[in-house]
Amino acid sequence: MRFFLFCLALVAAFIGSYLLLGDYFESLLAGDEAVAWLRTWGQWAWLVAIGLMLADVVLPIPATAVLATLGIIYGPIVGGLIGAAGSFLAGAAAYLACRALGPRAARYVLGGAGFDRSREFFLRTGGWTVALSRWMIILPEIISCLAGLTRMPARLYFTALACGAVPMAFTYAWIGHSQSDRPLLALSLSAAIPVLLWPLARALLARRKINPSRDA
């Protein structure tokens, strides 16, 4: 029951944040206005963009719009690299902040049974969940928080995070740079990349004899 209430509270917090501030950030970071605004920061535009993606953990920042804007300003390669760094750091921040609470606090928040079931889930299928969630709305923050609370092994989490965040960042940077008139096709194709990357990454972790059930 506590697990359900905690997830409900997270969803309510994100939706409430969107209702209060969503329109403001959408107008600030959409289309040509986003490009013009980010360019006002000059040589620090890339750092501001990363800061915006970090803020997406608690604020309704349209991260995909930021990623596309990076492609417009810096091109698909450099923009993709900056976007990948920002998306990865955002996921890392949410994970580490919740992991820092410790197992005792996590059991209190989620309940003993909820903690055990969630931990088992993230050990078993957490990699897929983390990697694929990066392409969705709201879910990336929730999944990262739960992964941290349940102490999903760090190597497992960060590998899965990279499998999801990197292709997503480069895809949106390319869409922004090319002004593609077929973004849905590009997104659909590139969203399949984590499905291919994660099994390879998991096999590499296993080959290096990294125990996925051990905290790192």
- Per residue of the chain (216 residues), give pLDDT as tens: 677 777 787 778 777 877 787 777 777 777 777 888 889 999 999 999 999 999 988 888 888 889 999 999 999 999 999 999 999 999 999 999 999 988 888 888 888 888 888 889 898 888 889 998 888 877 888 899 999 999 999 999 999 999 999 998 998 898 888 875 555 655 666 666 776 777 778 777 777 655 544 444
Residue 93 confidence (pLDDT): 95
The whole-angstrom separation of Cα 35 and Cα 72 is: 8
Which domain, by its residues, includes 45? 2-207
Domain total in the chain? 1
14 is a domain residue: yes
Residue 100 confidence (pLDDT): 93
Q: pTM of the entire structure?
A: 0.83
Q: Please give the DSSP secondary-structure letter assigned to residue 44.
A: G
212 is a domain residue: no
29 is a domain residue: yes
214 is a domain residue: no
216 is a domain residue: no
213 is a domain residue: no
Residue 194 confidence (pLDDT): 74
118 is a domain residue: yes
- For the CA atoms of 81, 139, 49, 69, the dihedral, rounded to the nearest 10 degrees, stands at 70
18 is a domain residue: yes
The whole-angstrom separation of Cα 63 and Cα 54 is: 9
